[in-house]
Amino acid sequence: MASETDKIFSEFKEHSVAEFFKKNRQMLGFSGKVRSLTTIVHEYVTNSLDACEEAGMLPDITVEIKELDKEKYWVRCSDNGPGIPQKHLGKALGMMLAGTKFHRYVQQRGQQGIGASGNTMFSQVTTGKPVKFESYYDKKKVAGELAVDFKQNRPVITNETVEETDGSRHGLVVEGEFAEVKYDRSSFSVFEYIKRTALVNPHAMIALVEPTGERLTFPRSIETIPPRPRQIRPHPLGIGTNDLMEFARAERESRKTSSFLQATFSRMSAAKTDELAQMCPEVDFEKSPKNLTWDDCEKITKAIHSDQVKWIAPETDAIVPIGQPQIEKSLQSILAPQFMAVTERKPKIYRGGVPFVVEAALAWGGNAGKKAVSGYNSDIMRFANRAPLLFDAGGCAITEAVKSVEWKRYGIKDFENEQITVLVNMSSVHVPYTGAGKQAIATEDEIMDEVKNAVMEAARDLQRYLHGVTRDRVRVERKKAIMRYVTQLAADLAELSGGKIKAEELEKKLLHLIENKYSNAIEEDDSGDGNIEEEISSQEEEVNE
């Protein structure tokens, strides 16, 4: 046994997170040629939008793509954001799990500290080249080349230069060469990604220079800077025993457990800590938080989650949804639908205390939906913190929630084949992505329910509209059917009357009657006020007869 066991474990090795993602690059979204290129652009654009938002600036972002060789492209992304200071550039672009976003409780598109470093990794792996950067800030221009040392997960900067500037320019430029990628305009492409990003970021100007040289500009449709996302303290209902332990161990200022709790969590008043203290007589709320045991923390957590304690809902001004007018404006300009309905819901929480807001919109007719071989397919546009989710639709809470809606109840007989676009945006301080590629939202019950409710709310508006449309259509069909027989009927009646009635006159009278009847139909029909669906289907049956 001995030698066998030793032999098996003779190859025991440790690996860096950079090596892990290099080998499993599909987990970062680098799988498939078109998708890989979209992932590259996604990571850079996301960072640019976040940086501008945090600095309170209106983003101007330009993405340029050139074809170098078969399945080999040059990508450059430049923004007018705050730039990145010299000492942080390496880690920001060449070290995985390093960044400003990972540990903060604030709404941002990026949240893992992998994205841009993943791009650097992909450039190295596919072309052997580092990426190039220029950072403009503080009357300085720092430029250079940057690679990842995979074994150490450390950045390697070369050819770095620092120049003085007049300070008029600020922002970041990153460019790199990438192979095993492909540019097209399919539904998973850079083009679609940027179009959708523009759709939900009406305050951003985004330009795309395609490999053909064509320049597409998605201009700003609003000039107001969205409120800057604010970092908030976590809500007590959102934490578990382990979180409480970690906060307690890291505490530097509060001397007592009671003051620590008030300083650490939102909605935690002195009265609330007293209430908790009474519920946990075994825990000494006067002692230092550093001395809290797991057992203590477990008791406090249980008290927090007990039905006896009522909590004020989480602060929500840290969450910045897109807003109904912005969504309407964007949908109108991009899809020009025949009808649209937008719902803006109140903040909710998931996992007990993580606040989030769902916005949903339905667009029907016009350029909504996806063109299919015959007719149209429905289209679900998913967004998280205003970033488009193009991939992994299958396992996403948004897709599953939208598909779980009983569309028939809202007059949509076959949702899959309807000319309809459903837009859903989830905003939160922490979006529970299913993978590091950030393309799908985990199917948490509260999120699923909220998305479904938001979509159903919009669907009710659509139903009302469609009821009108259907009725109009039914009326037109009926009229047409009768019209077809009017001339014959008039002639027949004229003959029957033995010449007493003139066919032409009768036809005129009949036509007049029909016109009147069908233009007054709305008022008459409405007086009935029965079940809308039944009405529609019985009307349709009439037409078919």
Half-sphere exposure of 251 (CA within 13 A, CB side): 26
Minimum distance from residue 12 beta carbon to its own copies (Å): 5
DSSP state of 28: G
Rg over alpha carbons for the chain, rounded to the nearest Å, is: 31
Q: By CB under 8 A, name the one of 68, 88, 306, 483 that touches its own copies.
A: 88
Residue from 34, 41, 84, 277 binding its own copies (CB under 8 A): 84
List the one residue from 59, 83, 226, 388 that touches its own copies (CB under 8 A). 83
Contacts to its own copies from residues 225-254, by CB under 8 A: 240-242, 245
Which of 237, 208, 205 has its CA nearest to residue 221?
205
Q: Is 6 in the site for its own copies (CB under 8 A)?
A: yes
* Footprint of its own copies on 10-39 (CB under 8 A): 11-17, 19-20, 23-24, 26-27, 31-32
164 near its own copies, judged by CB under 8 A: no
Rounded to 10 deg, the angle between the 445-496 and 521-528 helix axes is: 130
**Which of 93, 91, 113 is closest to 102 using CA atoms?**
113
The alpha carbon of residue 405 and the mean position of all alpha carbons in its chain are separated, in whole angstroms, by 19
d(CA 241, CA 304): 10
Q: Give, as one character, the DSSP assignment of residue 406.
A: -
Least distance in Å: CB of 417 to its own copies? 16
Residues 408-447 that bind its own copies (CB under 8 A): 432-436, 440, 442-444
Q: How many CB atoms lie within 10 A of CB 376?
A: 17
Both tokens of residue 183?
């540019």
The residue within the footprint of its own copies, chosen from 44, 73, 137, 191 (CB under 8 A), is 137
Residues 6+ apart with CB under 8 A from 382: 388, 389, 393, 396, 398, 399, 424, 441
360 vs 410: CA distance, rounded Å: 16
Q: Which of 60, 66, 71, 100 binds its own copies (CB under 8 A)?
A: 100
Binding of its own copies at residue 288 (CB under 8 A)? no
**162 - beta bridge partners?**
142
167 part of the interface to its own copies, by CB under 8 A: yes
Residue 333 interacts with its own copies (CB under 8 A): yes or no:
no
Nearer Cβ to its own copies (70/346): 70
One-letter amino acid identity for 281? P
Measured from the CB atom, the residue of 39 and 419 that comes closer to its own copies is: 39
Kindly tell me which of 194 and 280 has the beta carbon lying closer to its own copies: 280
Min CB(181)–its own copies separation in Å: 13
Smallest distance, its own copies to C-beta of residue 56, A:
8
In whole angstroms, the minimum distance from the beta carbon of 103 to its own copies comes to 6
